Amino acid sequence: MNSDKRLKVYKLLKKIPRGRVSTYGALASRLGMNPRLVGRILGQNSHPEIYPCYRVVRSDGSLGGYTIDSVNNEHSLSVKKKKLLRDGVKFSGERVEKKLIMKTI
DNA sequence: CCGTTGACCAGGC
DNA sequence: GGCCTGGCCAACG
């Protein structure tokens, strides 16, 4: 994958403040990419220690995905939720509250 | 060169 | 909210 595009995604990632989230689609439209491409970039090249990729969720507030140490399952999603809760993000059920989602960034 | 597969999305029921 | 549909586009075999 174009490492140029990866850099753009990661750079934008850092602009999401603690306690808020954005969506795959929002990042994608800001960068002129396809949402699926953003998802792939976050999945294949995530650096969980450095970049807060857990602050990206689906447009309806559901979690989307998360990958740690080549593990991608329900457990990894619970980790993602936990990180969000620690940031102060509020949930209604399994979805992030809509007002916390940044549609533009 | 295809067919399938995604950390997706908007629109309809 | 759930389920489907059609659209999207790069990666993989």
Sign of CA dihedral A89, A94, A99, A101: positive
Q: Which of A53, A57, A63, A100 is catalytic?
A: A53
The CATH architecture one would assign to domain A3-102 is Orthogonal Bundle (1.10)
Q: What is the domain partition of chain A in residue ranges?
A: 3-102
Token pair for residue A2? 């174009």
* Bases along strand B below 7 A from a protein CB: 6-10
Q: What is the pTM of this model?
A: 0.93
Query: Residue A5: how many CB atoms within 10 A of its CB?
Result: 15
Query: Residue A9 and residue A33: Cα distance in Å, rounded?
Result: 10
* Bases along strand C below 7 A from a protein CB: 1-2, 7-11
The protein side of the strand C contact, defined by CB less than 7 Å from any of its atoms, consists of A 1-2, 34-37, 40, 60-62, 93, 95
**Per-residue pLDDT tens for A4-41?**
999 999 999 999 999 999 999 999 999 999 999 999 99
Query: Residue A80: how many CB atoms within 10 A of its CB?
Result: 21
**Per-residue pLDDT tens for A67-86?**
876 567 778 899 999 999 99
Single-letter amino acid, residue A85: L
